[in-house]
Copies of this chain bind each other. A is one copy, B any other.
């Protein structure tokens, strides 16, 4: 790949991204935790709730600083916003942050010394982890938006998690479903993102299983088959 330096992002940007990816992933988890505390303990007078609010805003400030730095380092100016549209979207909707996890995952893998997973196993674990985090974020958001609606069927956080599982796997029982405009918007996003991720899990599992059976054939002594 070293013979195509023009299409690569500048080296300083690459170094910045490599250094910040794990801290930003931790910040993403903290953001999700803070948001979860805000949503699940809705009594505004508790100290935990204020702490969670501070956590949400400070991690979001971190994301903003990172976005600004990368915009400056890239040398693209305002074009950065359009070229890196996924990053811009993730900055505005930090609950989508799990979608940017692919780099973190490989970074973590690189630092460990133990024998690495096979290609399909890595795709599967990445896609299912991202789908699980997206599903958790969507459960929180849908519970937040729905549980006070007059004719809501999603009334507890358990209902929201159950709904997210049935949606991500495209089972869609319909016993609980969002009824408000914003709840349905979040649901549409979860369907679109989750469907592709789960398709990747299924496809990789299928390829992996075929690989396992092919290897079993090769291991077998030819005289016995």
In the bound complex, do residue B174 and residue A214 qualify as a contact, i.e. CB atoms below 8 Å apart?
A: no
A120 to chain B, nearest CB (A): 8
Contacts of A219 in B (CB 8 A): 1
Interface size on A, residues (CB 8 A): 59
A185 to chain B, nearest CB (A): 9
Q: Complex: how many Å from CA A204 to CA B202?
A: 12
Contacts of A197 in B (CB 8 A): 205
**What is the predominant secondary structure among interface residues of chain A facing chain B?**
helix
Q: Mark A134-171, 1 if CB is under 8 A from B, else 0.
A: 00000000000000000000000010001001110111
Restricting to A199-225, which residues have a CB under 8 Å from any CB of B? 199-207, 209-210, 212-220, 224-225
In the bound complex, do residue A173 and residue B173 qualify as a contact, i.e. CB atoms below 8 Å apart?
A: yes
Q: Complex: how many Å from CA A200 to CA B212?
A: 12
Residues A210 and B170 in contact in the complex (CB < 8 Å), given A162-B184, A195-B202, A199-B205:
no
Q: Any chain B CB within 8 A of the CB of A95?
A: no
Residues A225 and B169 in contact in the complex (CB < 8 Å), given A123-B209, A123-B213:
no
Residues A110 and B220 in contact in the complex (CB < 8 Å), given A188-B165, A199-B205:
yes
Contacts of A15 in B (CB 8 A): none
Contacts of A170 in B (CB 8 A): 169-172
The residue of chain B having its C-beta at the shortest distance from the C-beta of A225 within the complex is B116
| 16 further A-B pairs in the complex, CB-CB below 8 A; given A170-B170, A196-B201 | A122-B213, A162-B184, A162-B188, A169-B195, A171-B172, A172-B172, A174-B175, A175-B177, A195-B201, A195-B202, A199-B202, A199-B205, A202-B203, A203-B203, A203-B206, A204-B209
For the complex of A and B, the 5 pairs showing the least CB-CB separation, nearest first, are A199-B202, A173-B174, A171-B172, A203-B206, A174-B174
